[in-house]
């Protein structure tokens, strides 16, 4: 799942309107940021096998440190505490922890059973919805529409129509491209492209929330 991960960020922003959206956008992909870095440095391993599922060719071999359930929970608590240490704002810390935790629970329905409980020999989870491309796409798009709707009535109520439109456009393109666009066949390119998106989206969120006229 790519674009759909931003849906919980938008929903959490509606619940915690004083949390900067860019922190939530970084939080919901923190686990994939770790994955990108770990794959590029050889700490974790994955490869692309075109046609592995109808949606993409991503085969995760060892993702214990980024995508195991226990690691995901540790990232959530750890990053929540880090934000508390840096900003001293409990609500922002809780919102960040929730955003980080949301990642695993959205990967769970989509992935094949490649998300381990703890180490690589522990039970692995994943309901395999990626085997059905149209269904996966509709679910992800639906989540984004729901998240965007909550955000537009909650945390995003003061954002101009134009900026909302830009954000919706970027997320929409990302959602369609994730399923119907060209996909890299090299895992390093996949990881790098992912990191580019995972850092680009928080930058976009910062711009969306910047006071008008700046
Ligand atoms: Zn992931």
* Helix boundaries (H) for the chain: 6-15, 21-28, 30-41, 64-67, 69-87, 90-110, 133-153, 161-180, 187-209
Query: Is a pLDDT exceeding 80 seen at residue 65?
Result: yes
- pLDDT for 205 equals 97
14 CA → ligand 1 middle, Å: 23
pLDDT tens-digit readout, 196-211: 999 999 999 999 999 8
Query: Is a pLDDT exceeding 80 seen at residue 164?
Result: yes
Provide, rounded to the nearest whole percent, the portion of the chain with pLDDT above 90: 95
Top-confidence residue, 212 or 184: 184
1 CA → ligand 1 middle, Å: 7
Instruction: Give the confidence band of 154 by pLDDT, cuts at 50, 70, 90.
Output: confident
92 CA → ligand 1 middle, Å: 22
Secondary structure of residue 61 in the 3-state scheme: strand
Q: Report, as an integer, the average pLDDT of 80-107.
A: 98
3-state secondary structure 7-23: HHHHHHHHHCCCCCHHH
34 CA → ligand 1 middle, Å: 9
Please report where in the chains the tokens 């990191």 appear, as a residue: 195
- pLDDT for 197 equals 97
167 CA → ligand 1 middle, Å: 21
> 169 CB contacts (<8 Å, ≥6 apart)?
none
Burial of 179 (0-12, 13-18, 19+ CB in 10 A): buried
- pLDDT for 211 equals 87
Instruction: Give the confidence band of 131 by pLDDT, cuts at 50, 70, 90.
Output: very high
- pLDDT for 177 equals 96
Q: Report, as an integer, the average pLDDT of 153-171.
A: 93
- pLDDT for 214 equals 56
- pLDDT for 118 equals 95
105 CA → ligand 1 middle, Å: 9
pLDDT tens-digit readout, 66-75: 999 999 999 9
30 CA → ligand 1 middle, Å: 9
DSSP 105-134: HHHHHHS-S-EESSSTTS-EE---GGGSHH
How far is 19 from 152, CA to CA, in rounded Å? Answer: 15
Phi then psi for residue 48, to 5 deg, are: -105, 130
196 CA → ligand 1 middle, Å: 15
193 CA → ligand 1 middle, Å: 14
129 CA → ligand 1 middle, Å: 14
pLDDT tens-digit readout, 13-42: 999 999 999 999 999 999 999 999 999 999
Q: Report, as an integer, the average pLDDT of 158-182.
A: 95
- pLDDT for 112 equals 95
Q: Which two tokens stand for residue 152?
A: 């537009």
- pLDDT for 155 equals 86
How far is 15 from 98, CA to CA, in rounded Å? Answer: 11
87 CA → ligand 1 middle, Å: 26
5 CA → ligand 1 middle, Å: 9
pTM score of the predicted model: 0.96
């Amino acid at each position: 799942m790519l674009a759909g991960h931003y849906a919980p960020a938008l929903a959490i922003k509606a619940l915690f309107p004083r949390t900067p959206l860019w922190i939530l956008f970084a939080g919901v992909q923190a686990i994939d940021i770790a994955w990108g870095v770990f794959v590029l440095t050889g700490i974790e391993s994955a490869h692309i096998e075109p046609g592995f599922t109808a949606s993409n060719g991503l085969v995760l071999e060892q993702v214990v440190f980024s995508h195991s359930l226990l690691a995901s929970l540790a990232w959530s608590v750890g990053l929540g505490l880090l934000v508390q240490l840096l900003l001293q704002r409990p609500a922002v810390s809780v919102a960040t922890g929730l955003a980080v935790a949301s990642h695993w629970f959205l990967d769970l329905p989509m992935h094949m059973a490649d998300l381990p409980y703890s180490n690589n020999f522990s039970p692995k989870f994943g309901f395999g919805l990626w085997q059905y491309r149209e269904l996966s796409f509709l679910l992800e798009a639906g989540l984004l529409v729901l998240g965007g709707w909550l955000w537009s009535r909650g945390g995003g109520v003061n954002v101009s129509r134009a900026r909302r439109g830009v954000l919706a456009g970027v997320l929409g393109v990302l959602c369609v491209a994730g399923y119907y666009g060209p996909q890299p066949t090299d895992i390093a390119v996949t990881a790098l492209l992912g990191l580019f998106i995972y850092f680009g989206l928080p930058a976009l969120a910062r711009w969306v929330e910047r006071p008008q006229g700046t």
